[in-house]
Amino acid sequence: MNAISASAPADLKAQFPGLAGGWHYLDTAATAQKPQAVIDATVRAMGADYATVHRGVYARSADMTLAFEAAREKVAGLIGAPAQELVFTRGATEAINLVAYTYPRKGRVLLSTLEHHSNIVPWQLAGWQVDVCPLTADGQIDLDAAEAMLTPEHTMVAFAHVSNVLGSVLDAPRAAELAHAVGAKLLLDGCQAVPRLAIDVAALGCDFYAFSAHKLYGPTGIGALWGRAELLGAMPPWQGGGAMIDRVSFAGTTYAPPPQRFEAGTPAIIEAIGFGAAADYVRAIGLDAIHAHETALVAELRAALRARNDVTLFGPEESAGIVSFALDGVHSHDLGTILDEEGVAIRAGHHCAQPLMEHLGVPATARASFGLYSEQADIAALLRGIERTRRIFG
Residues serving a catalytic function are 352
Q: Strand, helix or coil at 176?
A: helix
Q: Strand, helix or coil at 57?
A: coil
**What DSSP designation does 87 have?**
E
- Which of 98, 111, 207 shows the shortest CA–CA distance to 154? 111
CA atoms lying within 13 Å on the CB side of residue 344: 28
The span from the CA of 229 to the CA of 299, in Å, is: 40
For residue 252, give every residue at least 6 positions away whose Cβ sits within 8 Å of its Cβ, in sequence order, or none: none
Where b means 16+ CB within 10 Å and e means fewer, 234-264 reads ebebbeeeeebbeeeeeeeeebbebbbbbbb
Neighbours of 144 (CB within 10 A): 12
> In whole angstroms, how far apart are CA 226 and each of 78, 105, 190, 204?
11, 18, 10, 13
The span from the CA of 213 to the CA of 229, in Å, is: 22
* Virtual torsion, Cα 222, 228, 233, 234, nearest 10 deg: -110
What size, in residues, is the chain? 394
Number of helices (H), then strands (E), belonging to the chain: the values are 14, 15
Neighbours of 205 (CB within 10 A): 17
For residue 249, give every residue at least 6 positions away whose Cβ sits within 8 Å of its Cβ, in sequence order, or none: none
Where b means 16+ CB within 10 Å and e means fewer, 317-329 reads eebbbbbbbbbee
